[in-house]
Amino acid sequence: MSAARIRLGDLSVGLISCLAEFADNAGLDTTALLARYGMDAHRLAQADARLSIARYMHFGHTLRQLSGDPAIGLKAARYSRLSSLGLAGAAARHAPDIGSAMNVLTRLEPLFLQNYRGQSSVHADGNGLWLRFYSISPYNAYNCFAVDTQLAGWCRQLSEVAGCSIVPDRVQIEFAAPAYADCYSTTFGCKVEFEAPHNQIRLSEATVALPGADHCPTTYAQLLAVCERELQSRTRTYTLRERVVQLLGPLLHGSEPELDDVARELNLPAWTLRRKLAEEGTGFRQLLADTRRDLAVAYIRDTELSFGEIAYLLGFSSAEAFQRAFKRWCDSTPGDYRRAARSER
């Protein structure tokens, strides 16, 4: 079997630290748990070491099983620190105010977290700011904890910037209220709305304007400059083909994107995008098929998602349509492919 060219995403190994600290405080054998996922002291000390999104989900699920605590995401976020975000975290810590720190954490997110499903963002509503985490539905025992960790982690990190506790006005979460729903009000200190359109926390104008406790203008400027150079070095070589493939991931969610959708994201006329792709020796329909195929292989190989869930994520009308396409791509059924992939581990 050939490996998929597209990964579901990865993150800095520093983001494991809050889960490891939770495990320590739960009395678990943290060293053995980390070793199970290839996280020894040497790798944890490497500046550019990354962990795949799929492995991160498995790590969290294993921790949930061992601890017997379904609210691990909310509780592990208590140990979240800006230092685990590397240079981006250092820049946010020295931001002049909470609003600036929010923008730093979202703009520089690719330095510590990349997911083909999307990127975190900030949205104004006239009276404050929403800090939004992209959708990672369909939700299951593997990934609800990631939303919990992210939203609660933001509150902890922004509290570190302000030097005082940050309490959001509202919290919205896409999935239905879980069995541990009472833990949310304790964690966030505000109303939490489930089955909402987005995963996000809202901060008032007053909270957004809180000054950064460690703000130093020169240090902040220096760190931003270093981060921007690093960010540019990761993106400056992208071809148009690669940019289209990056955009297709989030657009596939539940529907099949059209060339016009991608052209709009790139601020290009559709005919210009079609021509430029032809100049690179490809076309939109081919890129769409290749992206779907490679993501399908990654999902089947690296996750526990059902084939119906994968079909939805790749924009197919049904699980049957997805399975026919997969058989055409890989000369194997999804079930046979998953069994073969697991036998090779």
- Distance spanning both ends of the chain, measured CA to CA: 13
pLDDT at 234 over 90: no
pLDDT, mean of residues 82-109: 97
How far apart CA 95 and CA 18 sit, in angstroms, is 23
- Enclosing domain of residue 282: 240-343
Same domain, 246 and 199: no
CB 98 within 8 A of CB 74: no
Relative to beta strand 199-204, strand 128-133 is antiparallel
Beta bridge partners of 50: 12
Q: Is 68 exposed, middle or buried (0-12, 13-18, 19+ CB in 10 A)?
A: exposed
pLDDT at 3 over 50: no
Q: How does pLDDT run across 291-343, given as a tens digit for each residue?
A: 999 999 989 988 888 999 999 999 998 899 999 999 999 999 999 999 988 88
* Residues with Cβ within 8 Å of residue 339, at least 6 apart in sequence: none
Q: Which of 233, 252, 275 corresponds to the end of one domain? A: 233
pLDDT, mean of residues 156-162: 98
How far apart CA 116 and CA 251 sit, in angstroms, is 10
Same domain, 212 and 86: yes
CATH code, 299: 1.10.10.60
Distance of CA 108 to the CA centre of its chain: 13
Number of domain units in the chain: 2
Other C-beta atoms closer than 10 Å to the C-beta of 171 total 23
DSSP designation for 165: -
pLDDT at 22 over 80: yes
Same domain, 338 and 302: yes
